[in-house]
Amino acid sequence: DIQMTQSPSSLSASVGDRVTITCQASQDISNYLNWYQQKPGKAPKLLIYDASNLETGVPSRFSGSGSGTDFTFTISSLQPEDIATYYCQQYDNLPITFGPGTKVDIK
Amino acid sequence: QVQLQESGPGLVKPSQTLSLTCTVSGGSISSGSYYWSWIRQPAGKGLEWIGRIYTSGSTNYNPSLKSRVTISVDTSKNQFSLKLSSVTAADTAVYYCATILDWGQGTLVTVSS
């Protein structure tokens, strides 16, 4: 299985701050990586697909980059509604695997 | 974009089989090129991919669960289903049906006598 790691596991930031989350794959996954946002009690929501493509309707303050084994997810200006846990997911190899998540809250 | 809704028993006894159904609306389960997946999440923990079925009916399962999992599709009802046998307390989780983009709201399944 491809192991996905994320850092940090949690962070607190102020409204308007730039927030960056990293995701690392245990082997090369090209750009077969998605980023999901999950709010408490809700299903995950796709934000970024294929590492860097913004899903339709997702605010442009969200972005993703990277390829191979190292990926970055950025919120350019943190908003109160962005409080959530963020997961990366690889789908290059089966089984599909997720990172452990990064919990983001407001300082 | 389609809507997905999970249904099934919320309580299953240990050693029994967990059975869930996902009803797809807003589109045909047999059209397009979709993988229809099951994913689960124990309380307070991360996401685990269980497996998927393609529109052709071919399946892929997580090796960690493969011996206990069956995913099937009923195109006449626009549904796909999950069966997980020989459950234990470790299988207690919120179970989601999903495509990459669209997810159901999730259903909590508790394994307890």
Show the 3-state SS of A6-34.
EECCEEEECCCCCEEEEEEECCCCCCCEE
- Is residue B86 scored above 80 in pLDDT? yes
For residue B99, what is the nearest residue in chain A, using CA coordinates? Answer: A46
The CA–CA distances, whole Å, from B54 to A6, A63, A77, B31, B60 equal 29, 29, 38, 10, 9
Length of chain B: 113
> For chain B, what percent of residues have pLDDT higher than 90?
88
Residue B65 structure tokens: 């669960």
- A78-98 pLDDT, tens digit per residue, is 999 999 999 999 999 999 999
Instruction: Give chain A positions within 8 Å (CB) of B35.
Output: none
Confidence at residue B33, expressed as pLDDT on a 0 to 100 scale: 67
SS3 B54: strand
Closest CB to B47: pick one of A45, A46, A98: A98
Question: A103 pLDDT exceeds 70?
Answer: yes
Question: B28-78 pLDDT, tens per residue?
Answer: 898 776 899 999 999 999 999 999 999 888 999 999 999 999 999 999 999
Q: What is the pLDDT of residue B9?
A: 97
CA angle B78-B81-B87, nearest 5°? 165
